[in-house]
Chains A and B, each alone.
Chain A
Amino acid sequence: MTHNDELLKNLTILYVEDEVNIRELITRFLKRRVAAVYEAQNGKEGLDIYTSHKSEINLVITDIQMPVMDGMAMIEEILIQDAVQPIIITTAYKDSSHTSDRVCRNIFKPINLEYLTESILFCVGMSPENEAL
């Protein structure tokens, strides 16, 4: 087991995506590698889970265009609670309203899983909390 796999194994991730197929496949991908995955269908659900589990959550991965509360609004709320929370955006749109420079990485759909893995490692590696790990 590589150092990277080791690193991933201890992570808890919040994954927010409204599209069922994609959510299932990405969740399956994450669950193979990380300790725990919280799934949410929209920003509101995601924010609720984050608020009650923020001590465990190392990384947030979220879509942007979603019903009820979109990804951007949720990100704003999360950063209020924790200004250095590592976040990855997964979106189909490369324009300014679907990306942000306040997050760790913007990943564009269709998602390349190798790049997603690398991004997760990059983002949790950047977090001071995880550097201590």
Chain B
Amino acid sequence: MSLELGSDRAELERMAAAVEEFAEQQGWPDGVVFKVNLVLEELVINVMTHGGQQGHAEIDVTVTSSDDLISIAISDNGVAFDPLTDAPEPETTGSIEDRHVGGLGVHLVRTMMDDVNYRREPGRNHLTMTTPKS
């Protein structure tokens, strides 16, 4: 499954529909569909919000599914951002008053996915990751 997305948040609906269709073809369990949808949304919204493209985001999303492994690749034309090192760990233990709003998306990705790899090429971020199919 491959998609090219722009800056409009309405693109999220298109991506979710494409993931659902692909997941059905590939026979993914419900929990895996949820996880892949979540991770893609978190990463794509990050680029749309913080990429600095001013309405001209170009985000390429590719998802492949083998017998036992799902692989995700995302590349974008935003500012350099390595989710492994450039995002602080969010507060997940404090009281309601102490919790800050936001910062959870990248934390969810880092926790839920395996083999997360980032590289920067001229003008583009490239991020890859995997998760078991079952």
Note whether A and B form a binding pair.
no
